[in-house]
Amino acid sequence: MDWDLEIEIARVDERRFSAAISVLPGVLCYGLTQAEAIGRAQAMALHVLADRLEHGEIAEVASVHFHPKGGAGG
């Protein structure tokens, strides 16, 4: 199965960004820059998919593509 995951990026305050992947509940990460928040969300998403694969919740992962959405500066 191919996974196309949209990363929702937002500025939390003047010093932090958040990155969330809504189709994977619980994948919400923070960083001092957009890049840091996105990288953490991508890593967490891959861990979630690996865990689901290991426990038989999904049959396969053929590819994963991340698509950032939103954000402001960074």
With cut-offs at 50, 70 and 90, classify the pLDDT of residue 70. Answer: confident
pLDDT of residue 73: 55
Which H or E run includes 40? helix 34-54
Domain count, the chain: 1
- pLDDT (tens digit per residue) in 13-45: 999 999 999 999 999 999 999 999 999 999 999
Taking the C-alpha atoms of residue 73 and residue 35, their distance in angstroms, rounded to an integer, is 10
pLDDT of residue 34: 96
- pLDDT (tens digit per residue) in 46-66: 999 999 999 999 999 999 999
The CATH number linked to 48 is: 3.30.160
Taking the C-alpha atoms of residue 23 and residue 35, their distance in angstroms, rounded to an integer, is 20
Residue 26 belongs to domain spanning? 2-70
Taking the C-alpha atoms of residue 40 and residue 18, their distance in angstroms, rounded to an integer, is 10
Residues 6+ apart with CB under 8 A from 59: 1
With cut-offs at 50, 70 and 90, classify the pLDDT of residue 72. Answer: low
Taking the C-alpha atoms of residue 1 and residue 26, their distance in angstroms, rounded to an integer, is 21
